[in-house]
Structure 1
Amino acid sequence: MRAFAPTSVVAPPFRPRANPYRSTLARASASWADRHGLTADPQRAARLRRANAAELAARVAPDADVVRVQLLSDLITWLFALDDRCDEDGLGTDPGRVAPVISQLMRTLDGPGATPPTDLGDRSPLALTLADLCHRVRRLGRPGVLLRFTASLHQYLFALLWEAGNRQQGRVPAVAEYIQMRRHAGAVLPSFALTDLAESGLPHSRHRVDPTLARLNTVAADLVCWCNDLFSYGKEHGQDPHNLATVIAHETGHGPAAALATAAERFNDGLALFLRLQAEVLTDAPPSVARLVATRRNWIRGTYDWSVNSSRYQ
């Protein structure tokens, strides 16, 4: 089913780009994961190498300086590590097992980043690496980004618990419910926060609460998640209910091919909506808003290009 996505999904009409430091990012993120114990298990190490978080970070933040895009690359590495623990190692099949992990991670976020990870004592590698990320964000001196980053990670962790409950109960969520929760389970919003930080020139909060810009941000998050769903369907089909095509099939009674076609159509319609919202937002927009919109374009295009070439979904 993997071959279905590239032929059915409209390629985002934005120029593909990549940060020139991608090789440096890959080496540094691998070293960071090793140093903090995320790759102590050989299987987990191999999965992280295949995921190639640095390649995705390089594609979505092509103009960022190496220090700030490294922070984004390390975040994506951490997200892949936790996602694999939930999906591949079975942690996410039982709320009772995943809840203590989430509790420790939330305790880390409640810091937020005030205590260096070296002073946190005996915590899990996932908690220590999360503490390191928060501490590094804090040191960059943008408290608004730190608060947005930690708040969206709280939402992400709650969504992981929601997914675990669904798996335990054998429950396939309704399409509308899935779309709402997928934005958080996909961890796109904390990734957006660090991408904005990496690209600098952040817009004032009064611009961020503009309804049209807020909707554009949500549509961009949905497109990133749905693109992921379409490319990963072949791997996930029959194993996990958390895929756009799967929930469409369950709700409509359609077979896999028809459900995939409907999911692709939803992506294509969402892309057309993004283009309309972009045109509206960029009318007389200040440079900071234009930069934010550019980061969302980069995320949509970068996710598509990374997904086409990624071995993570094979």
Structure 2
Amino acid sequence: MGPELSVPPLFSPIAPAIHPNHSGIDVQTAAWAETFRIGSAELRDELAGRSFGSLCARILPEGSEQVVSVLSDFMLWLAAVDEVPDRPGRDGADDAVGLLHRLIRVAQNPEAPMMDDDPLAAGLRDLRLRIDRFGTAGQSARWSDALREYFFSVVWEAAHRRAGTLPTLGDYTLMRLYNGATSVMLPLLEMGHAYELQPHERDHPSVRAAAESASFVTTWDRDVFSYHRERLGTGAEASHLNVVRVLEQQHGLAPEDALKLAVRQRDRVMMLFLRLSGSLAERGSPQLRQYLRGLACYIRGAQDWGLGSRPELLSVSTFTDTPADDGHEPLDIPAIAWWWELAARPSHAS
């Protein structure tokens, strides 16, 4: 079993914030899950206890309360979808792929007469209709496209879990950019403040790098927080992929050394995010500056939620203003090394 591990003080340069009606949003999301019968009663109780409303209230602390509620319901729905590959009675990855493929069609065309008796499909229809109400046609399309990427990563991870294997660090990093659910959440950051980021800004490489680096930090945080619980767990929880386990395998590290390395990696990427965001904000539109603020709220909100919503997580006694690694050299991960090349030159996203 091994000794309990503690996370070093976490570098947290972003101020915390939360929507004033966070508790009401939590209540609403629990009621939404009951209305659509998302998962089993046991799963609904477990998911309600995660306080997704509190998370989303931190991501959009000044956003539209209606959009915060949509995001909260959607986060709970995604957590239920994570259980699809492990559903009792389902026949492995092929069956899960078929179900997720049909759900993509529901997200694209909620009026399609299919899966009428499936609670996940019913909840997804409701989410799509509300996204259409608060967003643009382009935002709805980007949301459903990102959902496809998310589903692909869920199946990819499930295959490793069934086989009892760990990916390389490079493959794990790439997968985490999608199954961390950042890309599928991004359109709602815009909806929450009633704007649409124009393609020449949103698709600029430096803006993409800022969004992906935010995803990296939040997913590494999630892995660092949950590692000890997963390490001591049994069954499905013990089979979860985690960057600390990946680093142990790839570099032959002891758990405490792998944990420290993961923290250094997230701190170096956090510093990169701050440099990219600062450069982009100097030249970008008001909408881009709001988008970058949204990414920062996402990082800090996920951190605060992760520490506060699950008491069995690793203990973190303090925050710190000093990163464990403030280097400017890229991490040795080919899929993301290009981020640092962008940070080394001026960013023109306007």
TM-score above 0.5 = yes
Distance 1:312 1:110, change over 3 A: farther
In the TM superposition, 1:81-100 aligns within 5 A as: 81-86=80-85, 94-100=92-98
1:10 match: 11
- The 1-side partners of 2:264 and 2:20 are apart by 34
In the TM superposition, 1:237-248 aligns within 5 A as: 237=231, 239-248=238-247
- The 2-side partners of 1:92 and 1:14 are apart by 43
Query: C-alpha deviations, 1:78-105, integer Å up to 9, x for none?
Result: 1122224557x67999313422331221
Q: 2:218 aligns with which of 220, 224, 232?
A: 224
Query: C-alpha deviations, 1:60-93, integer Å up to 9, x for none?
Result: 1001121111111111111122224557x67999
In the TM superposition, 1:174-253 aligns within 5 A as: 174-237=168-231, 239-253=238-252
Matched-pair contact (CA < 8 Å) for 2:67–2:191: yes
Segments of 5+ residues of structure 2 without an aligned counterpart are 233-237, 314-350
Query: C-alpha deviations, 1:8-59, integer Å up to 9, x for none?
Result: 4312x111100011122112111111000115x3321221122110000000
Distance 1:148 1:95, change over 3 A: same
Distance 1:308 1:17, change over 3 A: same
Identity %: 25
Residue range with higher mean Cα deviation, 186-195 or 152-161: 186-195
The number of equivalent residue pairs is 306
- The 2-side partners of 1:183 and 1:215 are apart by 11
- The 2-side partners of 1:92 and 1:296 are apart by 37
The Cα of 1:3 is off from its aligned counterpart by 6.2
1:302 match: 301
- The 2-side partners of 1:313 and 1:226 are apart by 18
1:150 match: 144
Query: C-alpha deviations, 1:128-164, integer Å up to 9, x for none?
Result: 1112111211233501111110011000001111112
- The 2-side partners of 1:200 and 1:90 are apart by 41
Across the aligned residues of Structure 1 and Structure 2, the Cα RMSD in angstroms comes to 2.3
2:320 match: none
Matched-pair contact (CA < 8 Å) for 1:92–1:163: no
- The 2-side partners of 1:27 and 1:110 are apart by 28
The Cα of 1:194 is off from its aligned counterpart by 1.3
Query: C-alpha deviations, 1:211-231, integer Å up to 9, x for none?
Result: 211111110111111111111
The one-letter code sitting in structure 2 at the alignment partner of 1:301 is R
Matched-pair contact (CA < 8 Å) for 1:9–1:267: no
The one-letter code sitting in structure 2 at the alignment partner of 1:196 is E
The one-letter code sitting in structure 2 at the alignment partner of 1:247 is V
Matched-pair contact (CA < 8 Å) for 1:2–1:232: no
After TM superposition, the runs of 4+ consecutive aligned structure 1 residues lying more than 3 A away are 84-87, 89-94
Give TM-score scaled by structure 1 length: 0.90
- The 1-side partners of 2:253 and 2:225 are apart by 19
- The 2-side partners of 1:309 and 1:35 are apart by 27
Give TM-score scaled by structure 2 length: 0.81
- Select the structure of larger CA radius of gyration: 2
Matched-pair contact (CA < 8 Å) for 2:115–2:121: no
The Cα of 1:109 is off from its aligned counterpart by 2.4
The Cα of 1:106 is off from its aligned counterpart by 2.0
Matched-pair contact (CA < 8 Å) for 1:138–1:146: yes
The one-letter code sitting in structure 2 at the alignment partner of 1:34 is E
The one-letter code sitting in structure 2 at the alignment partner of 1:249 is E
- The 2-side partners of 1:3 and 1:65 are apart by 39
The Cα of 1:286 is off from its aligned counterpart by 1.4
2:33 match: 33
The one-letter code sitting in structure 1 at the alignment partner of 2:67 is R
The one-letter code sitting in structure 2 at the alignment partner of 1:218 is E
- 2:116 aligned with 1:122: yes
The Cα of 1:261 is off from its aligned counterpart by 0.7
2:336 match: none
